[in-house]
Chain A
Amino acid sequence: DIQMTQSPSSLSASVGDRVTITCRSSQTISSYLNWYQQKPGKAPKILIYAASSLQSGVPSRFSGSGSGTDFTLTISSLQPEDFATYYCQQSYRTAGTFGQGTKVEIK
């Protein structure tokens, strides 16, 4: 199993802040890394795939970077609707695994 480790597990930020979440894989996964957003009581939603490709319809304030074992999700200017939990997920193997999530809360 490929283990995915996110940090931080939670953070508090204000509207307009720049937010960065990191994800590390236990082995190299090239760019096989996706990012999802989940709001309470809802299914997750894909934001970024292939480490840096923005899913259609997702605001451009979201961006992803990295390859190999270290990856980053950045929200350039946090908006009220962005308060949620974010998960990374490796797709290097057909059996994917998720990180433990990062909860973004209002400061």
Chain B
Amino acid sequence: EVQLVQSGAEVKKPGESLKISCKGSGYSFATYWIAWVRQMPGKDLEWMGIIYPGDSDTIYSPSFQGQVTISADKSTNTAYLQWSSLKASDSAVYFCARRRPDTNGFYFYLDSWGQGTLVTVSS
């Protein structure tokens, strides 16, 4: 069974750093892209970026470029999302999700999702 298990909720102060994780199991982690998606309280889904764990090729959404760092360790089947200096506006739920191809390998979609990590940034 494909599973993505994310790290637990975090409460941080503005200016602090943070790294949250997403551990995959039940499939070849290195060969599927992992996306990160933000959902601010009561708001819609926002695509942050995506990483290919096999070679750490990473593509950021323009809105998040320079604001966060996405990384992956294929030896531990884990993807990461990190901030160097948090802001109150970073308070949100963050999801990781696996991007998979259809049976023809032509179309892609997010088929398996982590449970979400709630990040609260408050002084």
Q: A residues engaging B (CB < 8 A)? A: 1, 31-32, 34, 36, 38, 43-46, 49-50, 53, 55, 87, 89, 91, 94-101
Contact = CB atoms under 8 A, between A and B. Distances in A.
B29 interface: no
A36 B110 contact: yes
B38 to A, nearest CB: 10
A98 B59 contact: no
Contacts of B114: 43
Interface string B103-123: 000111111011110000000
B44 A1 contact: no
A88 B111 CA distance: 14
A94 B107 contact: no
A97 B49 CA distance: 10
Nearest to A98: B45
A95 B47 contact: yes
Contacts, number: 72
Nearest to B113: A43
For chain A, what secondary structure do more than half of its interface residues adopt (helix, strand, loop), or is it mixed? Answer: loop
Interface of B: 33, 35, 37, 44-47, 49-50, 59-62, 95, 97, 99, 102, 106-111, 113-116
Given A94-B59, A98-B44, 12 more contacts: A1-B61, A34-B109, A43-B114, A44-B45, A44-B113, A46-B109, A50-B107, A87-B44, A95-B50, A95-B60, A98-B37, A100-B44
Contacts of B107: 31-32, 49-50, 53, 91
A38 B116 CA distance: 12
A100 B43 CA distance: 8
Nearest to B59: A95
Contacts of B60: 95
Nearest to B115: A43
A95 B109 contact: no
A36 B99 CA distance: 13
24 contacts: A1-B61, A34-B109, A36-B45, A36-B110, A43-B95, A43-B114, A44-B37, A44-B45, A46-B110, A49-B102, A50-B102, A53-B102, A53-B107, A89-B47, A89-B110, A91-B107, A91-B109, A94-B33, A95-B47, A95-B59, A96-B110, A97-B61, A98-B46, A98-B47
